[in-house]
Structure 1
C-alpha cells in the first residue's frame, strides 16, 4: 500500500495504520518499510475490539498458507524481524467516510488475508461518492 499512497490521496483518502506496538518498535516498523502515512499506537487494543478484530488460532497463524505467504514476501526482498508482541492478533482494513461511517470492512482471517490495494481504492472511491 505504501507504493500507492499518492493514489489514495488523489482519491480523497487519508491512510493511517493502527498498531498495538509502541515507541521504538513502531518507529522501526515505519522506518524499515518507509511508511509515509500516520502510524497510531493502540497498546490497549481498544480500536481492535471496537472494530471486531479477533485473534487467530495457532494453525491460522503458523499454518502452511501463512508460511507460504511469508516465503513469497521474503523472496521479493521483504525482511522480517521475527515475532513482535502478540502474533495471534489479527488485523483488518477499513474505509471510513467523512461522517465516521464504516463503508468497507475486511477483518483478516489469518495474517496474510488482506484485500488488494485495488479493492481498497475502489472502496475509497465508492465512499467518496
Structure 2
C-alpha cells in the first residue's frame, strides 16, 4: 500500500492528486497526529530560507509550473514534511523528517530501505 498523508481537507487533497497525477492513496490527518508522532513541526524560518526561495524562483524561469491552488485551499505553508517508509506491520523502515522544504531522501536510500524491509 502506497499512501501519502496530508493535514489538509478533502477538496485540497483531491485537487493536488489530480494536478500532480499522483496515484497513491491520500490519508487525511487534519489534527496532525501523524505529523506530531513523526516529530514534524512548522517553521517560518526553514520555509522562507533564501536558498528555498531562490530554488522556487528558478522554477518560474525554467517554465516549471506549480500546482494551481486556490488561496482558500492553502492551509499551513510553514508545516514541515518528511518522507517515511513503513512495512505492512507498521515498522518504520525509513525516517526522514525534512530540514527544509527541499530536503528529501535520495531514491537510492528509499529503495535500500524498502529492500531491507523485505528480509
Give the deviation of 1:68 after TM superposition: 2.5
Instruction: Indicate how the Cα distance of structure 1 residues 121 and 88 shifts in structure 2: closer, same or farther if over 3 A, else same.
Output: same
The two structures have a TM-score, normalised by structure 2, of 0.85
Give the deviation of 1:111 after TM superposition: 1.1
Is 2:59 aligned against 1:59?
A: no
The two structures have a TM-score, normalised by structure 1, of 0.79
Distance in 1, matches of 2:59 and 2:109, equals 20
Cross-structure match for 1:112: 102
Give the deviation of 1:60 after TM superposition: 1.2
Unmatched 5+ stretches in structure 1? 1-13
1:27-46 deviation line (CA, Å, top 9, x unaligned): 11000000111011111111
Unmatched 5+ stretches in structure 2? none
Between 1:110-119 and 1:15-24, the stretch displaced more is 110-119
Distance in 1, matches of 2:65 and 2:113, equals 27
User: What are the equivalent positions in structure 2 for 1:58-77 lying under 5 Å apart?
Assistant: 58-74=44-60, 75=62, 77=64
Instruction: Choose between structure 1 and 2 for higher RCO, CA contacts under 8 A separated by at least 6 residues.
Output: 1
Instruction: Indicate how the Cα distance of structure 1 residues 23 and 122 shifts in structure 2: closer, same or farther if over 3 A, else same.
Output: same
RMSD: 1.8
